[in-house]
Structure 1
Amino acid sequence: MLTQTPVYIVAAGEDLFPAAALSMPCLHLAYTLGEQGRLRRDGPDSQSLGGLLGFYDKGLTPPLSLDAGRLIRQIREECSRRRFSGVVLDAQGPAAGELVSSLSPLLDQWSIPYYVPIKLASLAPNACYLLPSTLYEGSFDDMLEQYCRRYPVHRLALDVVRQCRRFSMPARNHQGESLSAQMFFRLQREYEPVSFFSQELCARYFTYRQGQETYFVLYDDPSTVSSKLNRARRMGLGAAFVLYRDFGPLCRTFLAPSPDAFL
């Protein structure tokens, strides 16, 4: 059974205006720590209301010049002004641990719903957790099931990031190498490979030979993202996030379950 898992469009910078025009729930990834530890908004202001406040830590290094109490007050004021229903701490950099451990107790105190990456769960026991959507081995469904057994399902959210990676065969690097869109399309034009869908990885792939080397390319497209979202819905996850920059206006197609619900 598919649940009504809300899908948020993640937008930053110049993507904020076109993302808001989709009339979908939006994560405004536009806030960070400014001068004197104050909340700073970057990029254009779309003036749209609702959605989530996205706080990112790119460029921040520890120790932070952080008055957590003042910053939370500013976050609360911005949430009230913009009618944001919660906060996403996009904590990925070297200051991630300090940021989450400083803010999570105060977000709990003020009963502000918030999300943090699953790898920081120990620092924020009452948060909602962002689960990765990329998988290079194993089973996508098994990964979701393991998280669902460990945490309350309604506090889990799938963080969908479009992947496009190349691996040499046999794989010498389990992470492979990231391919730009330009390189990906060049390979498709040059080799005209046949693509297949991997039920286990919930992604598409093709192989090709170049000289004596054989390569395996794993990638997402709108159909694989729809499949991942449908699987998250079947598990009953509380939310999902998709980057506007990955699919642009096609993000609108992710709002409702797709016909390939059991792909």
Structure 2
Amino acid sequence: MMVYTKNLILVCTGRDTTKAASLGMPVLQLCLGISQSGALQRLKVSAVQRHCLLGVTDPPQAINFCSAERIAADLVFEARRTEAPGVFADFEHDTPLNRRLLAAFDEALYDADIPLYVPLECGRTLSHAILTVSTAISGGSLTEYISSLQGIYSAARIAAFLQPVSQDFTLPSPTPNGISLSAAARAALLAQTGAQPFFSRELCAKYFTYMNADGQAHFVLYDDDSTLAAKLAQLAGCGVQNVFALFPDAAGLLKPQA
């Protein structure tokens, strides 16, 4: 099976950066943060210093003073210094401080012709940033979800984050999130129940159902290397130009395929 890795960007910290860079693929280093005093800071010195996308993490929310414009200017300087092909704002919280920072990043990096990637949940109001969307959906259709966002923001402004899912849902499920299962726990559950896995083309993931000892129906949704490869192919078919993935999650896709 051929795996479509052309648009894949490997997200790394520490030693993984060197391993990923040796594969000749684009690398995002989560290496920048914002200090308590409100200044851009390097969290660690990587073995690979140049030509990697730069990742900047959430600032502490109790910053005494923060000039968003100054941090944005420093971010542009650092990106140019390291010849970074882009910046990923790995922000998890939609707060007033984060909105102020992201608005400043959006304008400064756009003016510098450096792409800015922001999670969709934090970047909906930005004018220029490329919005990253998780592939870990538990309902609907992955391609329809991506296409709908491309219709709202334009195809060029939608990127994806390849996030494997492995969750156990009680049926009927009161929430869109189930209980997380490790690969080992899932394998044990499959062996114990003798359930038959199936592939959902809409979710682009595998699933199986079983009944627990109390007669309660369960639905297990999960990814493996084959479904992650299928997601990459579907995303490419939707015209998604950039797909981020944590290096350990993507490791199985980078091996020679049988």
Q: After alignment, is 148-157 or 218-227 more displaced?
A: 148-157
Normalising by structure 2, report the TM-score: 0.86
Q: Give the unaligned 5+ runs of structure 2.
A: none
2:248 corresponds to 1:239: no
Closer/same/farther in 2, CA of residues 64 and 222 from structure 1, 3 Å limit:
farther
User: 2:102·2:123 contact (CA, 8 Å) conserved in 1?
Assistant: no
User: 1:60·1:94 contact (CA, 8 Å) conserved in 2?
Assistant: no
Name the % identity.
28
User: 2:5·2:232 contact (CA, 8 Å) conserved in 1?
Assistant: no
Q: Secondary structure at the match of 1:215?
A: strand
- Pairwise CA distance, 1:136: 1.1
Counterpart for residue 162 of structure 1: 164
Counterpart for residue 77 of structure 1: 77
User: 2:99·2:122 contact (CA, 8 Å) conserved in 1?
Assistant: yes
User: 1:27·1:52 contact (CA, 8 Å) conserved in 2?
Assistant: yes
User: Deviations along 1:118-164, whole A, 9 cap, x unmatched?
Assistant: 23344311111112211111111211111122222122111111111
The within-5 A match list for 1:157-196 is 157-196=159-198
Q: Give the unaligned 5+ runs of structure 1.
A: none
User: 1:195·1:206 contact (CA, 8 Å) conserved in 2?
Assistant: yes
Distance 1:46 1:8 in 2: 18
Q: Structure 2 counterpart of 1:237, which letter?
A: V
Counterpart for residue 200 of structure 1: 202
Q: Secondary structure at the match of 2:66?
A: coil
User: Which of the pair has the greater relative contact order for Cα pairs under 8 Å at 6+ separation?
Assistant: 1
- Pairwise CA distance, 1:117: 1.5
User: Deviations along 1:47-86, whole A, 9 cap, x unmatched?
Assistant: 25313111111x6225673222332233223222322111
Closer/same/farther in 2, CA of residues 128 and 109 from structure 1, 3 Å limit:
same
- Pairwise CA distance, 1:227: 1.2
The ranges of structure 1 where at least 4 consecutive aligned residues each deviate by more than 3 angstroms after the TM superposition are 62-65
Normalising by structure 1, report the TM-score: 0.85
Q: Secondary structure at the match of 2:136?
A: coil
Counterpart for residue 42 of structure 2: 41
Q: Secondary structure at the match of 1:120?
A: helix
- Pairwise CA distance, 1:9: 0.6
Closer/same/farther in 2, CA of residues 33 and 204 from structure 1, 3 Å limit:
same
Closer/same/farther in 2, CA of residues 67 and 91 from structure 1, 3 Å limit:
same
The within-5 A match list for 1:40-189 is 40-57=41-58, 60-61=60-61, 65-93=65-93, 95=95, 96-189=98-191
- Pairwise CA distance, 1:100: 1.4
User: What is the Cα-based RMSD across aligned positions, in Å?
Assistant: 2.6
